Amino acid sequence: MKKLAVLTAILLATCSFAHSQLTLGPGETYTYEFETLSPTERYEIGFPPVAAMSVTIYGFQSGDALRIEMFEDDPMGAPFCERTVTNTTNPLHFSCSELYHWQDLQGSIRLTMVSGSATIDNFLLHSFRPSGGSSIREYAARVYVPEGRPLLQVVPSERSIVLRWETSATNFVLEATPSMSAVSQWEAVTNTVEVTNGTSSVTIARDQQVQAEFYRLRRLP
């Protein structure tokens, strides 16, 4: 049973390395601010001016919860749209729209993992603005994530597990938890970090693990 549990943790981290996606753990936040959106060829008649966002979320399980917030300007004020997604459909397609926002083509969004974890590949931002007469023109941007977020690779061997990430990610700390749940407690991994050819790595001996462990790189404030 121990070997099976450890292997599960390894596969989870390896998949995170193989795909350029943003994975949020409990309490982690991703914020995106934009100063403009690009015009598209789409026009609507009788369509109201609105701000809209859509995102596809992967890896949702029972008990997971992701809070999505949309802001008129920077994310310091109150959001004009705030929803917590808890649906267990996998993948989950989520959208939100509000009247008369982002009419200056500027704003921000914030994603916060309330509990559990989820993976996000990209999201789509829209603003529909009056374009003369009764027509409305769409302005949009598809944003792929992460932006500069390091990917964690886990390489297993018979006697140890090696965790690797890019050395350029100097503002991240390696953490571990024995379980993925709403009350997961993440602790810093204190093993020595070795640097070789632009790659940081930590080696964890098999006999150090008394149970399954999940790993992440957390951005420091």
What pLDDT, on a 0 to 100 scale, did the predictor assign at position 221? 60
What pLDDT, on a 0 to 100 scale, did the predictor assign at position 71? 95
- Answer yes or no: do 124 and 152 share one domain: no
Cα–Cα distance, 116 to 32 (Å, whole number) = 21
- Answer yes or no: do 129 and 213 share one domain: no
Last residue of a domain, one of 119, 144, 169: 144
What pLDDT, on a 0 to 100 scale, did the predictor assign at position 13? 40
What pLDDT, on a 0 to 100 scale, did the predictor assign at position 171? 74
Read off φ and ψ for residue 10, nearest 5 degrees: -65, -45
What pLDDT, on a 0 to 100 scale, did the predictor assign at position 193? 92
Show pLDDT as tens, one digit a residue, over the chain (221 residues): 333 333 334 334 433 333 357 888 888 888 888 999 999 988 988 889 999 999 888 878 888 889 999 999 888 889 999 988 887 666 677 788 899 999 999 999 999 899 888 888 889 999 999 998 889 999 999 987 755 557 788 887 778 888 888 887 777 888 888 876 656 788 889 899 999 888 899 998 877 655 667 888 877 76
Q: Alpha carbon 61 to chain centroid distance?
A: 15
Read off φ and ψ for residue 18, nearest 5 degrees: -75, -20
- Answer yes or no: do 152 and 207 share one domain: yes
SS3 state of residue 17: helix
Number of domains in the chain: 2
- Answer yes or no: do 91 and 200 share one domain: no
Tokens 């886990």, residue?
154
